A and B are shown apart, each in its own frame.
Chain A
């Protein structure tokens, strides 16, 4: 079902500016929240069931309740706007078109957590969005929503935009903290967790843009009402960014009760696959999550309909399922080459590995090299098993999840499309001229009705 929660004002011209935002109910949640006890705000977020929208899906209210509050030590809220997972561009959309929703969410969350200096760490490439956010911050400040003694509550809060400089790894919260301290983005060992010792060794909460923006509707409607949107433990609305081979790429808001098939083929969302082509595979949650072939995308291995939510997408584990991840929805049509696509992802993770842990530093480069060979007709059959072996030895053996993120796409591609890898090895010349066709698959890949 279509819901409009975060993007309910999407159609209003000028919603980027304070006056328009305020006129359409903006800062009403802030007004309400500033009259509440901070602990009650945390309680509402807990009740809402909101899960981190950056990719891990950890319950936000629980994360907030872990924040240490030692006497006399400042605490910080940091907004993770280092959106870099291939396929993901939803936070960019929120910041570019709804900056005040984020600023309002940040104000409420800062008040709840007691952060007097809150930072938005934004990926360096989103340079023009820095100006949009800073303008929104200025407007909010002029209208008494930031600065000293906000709305007479005695609460002080400043929000600063901090620009990164091109490093995927800085989306990992401890790497982000290191980067914000002016260092290389090398993730830290945990524990201690940021909630105890984070930015400048002070208690810190790091949340994704969409997560913090969602605090606004949660306060407006109340945690319990918000939890009624969605299904089971997938509460609220979720932004999805769609790319690849679909008729209507872009950012969509869903309530997590629609089926994957409807999401891809309905005109309200992706609008189907261009040029009447058939669907081959999909990576539904950003490039790190396992790719699934079309026949496992619409139905789980048990034959049940698969829905666009955390539980349903991961049904079957990695053997036959995938993950909701960051909501970066990548669609591949019948003409796409799985080997080449996997190679570009391996190159990405190799480029982005910080180099701290040897399994990831060495393994990502090794996997890229092998995949490049197979793609270029120089692969051996034993390379496929070698790839499997390398990814297995990276997974779980690194300080941060980048190692897993690099291993999973390779593992899933081999798990579901091994025949395509073998075909490349067996047909080195032909594989240079054309892609492995759908006709090779024993299972019919999804054919839309009427095609």
Chain B
């Protein structure tokens, strides 16, 4: 069953308390982040319904928000989502080559997940790291000044980590 742990529920209530009484809907985006982190990296209908219940709002109010923001996945994704920026400044510094290299290396296209469920390639639009291009977002961190060698190392590390 979908449910936050006691500790996470405490955090949920702490977040709700940041907003005035009756404005608990304001906590929706922060709590959707928590739900995505805790419930498998994406938001399915039961997870969104659970968040609606916690915030005492209608499920549709959650769906319309979850589908609007690009950080929320409404379809299953791999364990590691490689979000490679491809907007102007990154393009000037070779992001196209980086994306092509990842595609070739992992045998997947944009938006796809590897058969072992480890990696999803998700091309991203500007992530605010233009001076450190090319770059990608991996979970809560940025990987910057990417090269093919760095991609090799990163993927090997993530594969290694998965075995543990």
Contacts and interface: CB of A to CB of B under 8 A. Distances in A.
Nearest to A341: B88
Contacts of B30: 162-163
Interface residues of A, number: 56
A182 B129 contact: no
Interface in B83-111: 86-89, 91-93
B125 A180 contact: no
A348 B29 contact: no
B32 interface: yes
Contact of B130 (A74, A88, A158, A181): A88
B26 A244 contact: no
Interface residues of B, number: 42
Q: Max chain B CB contacts within 10 Å: which of A125, A184, A200, A348?
A: A125
Interface stretch (B1-9, B17-25, B154-162): B17-25
Nearest to B28: A182
Interface in B64-94: 64-65, 68-72, 86-89, 91-93
A346 B72 CA distance: 23
Contact of B25 (A165, A181, A336, A344): A181
A352 interface: yes
B68 A87 contact: no
A160 B15 CA distance: 9
B29 A86 contact: no
A128 B140 contact: yes
Interface string A222-264: 0000000000000000000111110001110000000000000
A361 to B, nearest CB: 13
Given A163-B30, A340-B91, A341-B92, A243 B128 contact: no
B92 A123 contact: no
A340 B95 CA distance: 13
B133 interface: yes
Given A180-B26, A244-B92, A86 B68 contact: no
B69 A165 contact: yes
Contact of B65 (A180, A182, A336, A354): A182
B71 A89 contact: no
A89 B70 CA distance: 19
A168 interface: yes
B128 A166 contact: no
A167 interface: yes
A242 B89 CA distance: 10
Centre residue among B68, B72, B130, B139 by max chain A CB count within 10 A = B130
Contact of A163 (B33, B68, B139): B33
A165 B32 contact: yes
B163 interface: no
A269 to B, nearest CB: 12
A245 B92 contact: yes
Nearest to A342: B88
Contacts of B127: 125
A363 interface: no
29 contacts: A74-B20, A85-B126, A87-B89, A117-B18, A123-B128, A127-B139, A160-B18, A162-B18, A162-B26, A162-B29, A163-B29, A166-B69, A168-B125, A181-B23, A185-B69, A200-B20, A241-B130, A243-B92, A244-B130, A328-B130, A330-B88, A330-B89, A330-B130, A332-B92, A341-B91, A345-B88, A348-B88, A348-B126, A352-B125
Given A179-B29, A245-B93, 5 more contacts: A88-B128, A243-B93, A244-B89, A249-B131, A351-B70
Instruction: Give the 8 A-B CB pairs with smallest separation, nearest first.
Output: A165-B69, A243-B130, A182-B28, A249-B131, A166-B71, A182-B25, A127-B140, A166-B70
Interface of A: 74, 83-89, 92, 117, 123-128, 158, 160, 162-168, 179-185, 200, 241-245, 249-251, 283, 287, 328, 330, 332, 336, 340-341, 344-345, 347-348, 351-352, 354
